Amino acid sequence: MTTDAATTLKPFRDRLEELDQQLARLLAQRFDICREVADTKRAAGIPMMQPERVEQVKQAYAARGRELGVDPAFMYALASLVIGEACRLEDDIIGAAPSPGEERSR
């Protein structure tokens, strides 16, 4: 790519980079909440997998996509990736050995 092209595209790339950073921060916040959910499920003996909730979230992503002009199939697939990571985190926490003094309710 020529310097002219790089210069021309720089403002767009800067804006995209800022959005990418925001997305990463938001995902990190979402996964922090998922860890709290896992701690709560573990303490209450609630199963990690909640299939009906998983589908609700995927459908909500698709609906947001339709509303915002983003391909609903892409948004559904994105939700699947996000939920997959959330399930992995929850499974690690719920399946972990109890800490000292913690009773295992599963």
Task: Give per-residue pLDDT as tens, 66-87.
Answer: 999 999 999 999 999 999 999 9
Residue 100 lies in a domain: no
Residue 88 lies in a domain: yes
At residue 105 the predicted structure's pLDDT band, cuts being 50, 70 and 90, is very low
Residue 24 lies in a domain: yes
Residue 36: CATH number of its domain: 1.20.59.10
Lowest mean pLDDT across 6-10, 25-29, 31-35, 99-103: 99-103
pLDDT beyond 60 at 53: yes
- 99 phi, psi to nearest 5 deg: -75, 160
Number of domains in the chain: 1
Residue 52 lies in a domain: yes
At residue 62 the predicted structure's pLDDT band, cuts being 50, 70 and 90, is very high
pLDDT beyond 80 at 106: no
Domain limits for position 89: 3-94
Calculate the alpha carbon distances from 76 to 11, 14, 19, 71 in Å.
30, 27, 20, 9
- Report CA Rg, the chain: 19
Residues 6+ apart with CB under 8 A from 45: 105, 106
Task: Give per-residue pLDDT as tens, 20-50.
Answer: 999 999 999 999 999 999 999 999 999 988 9
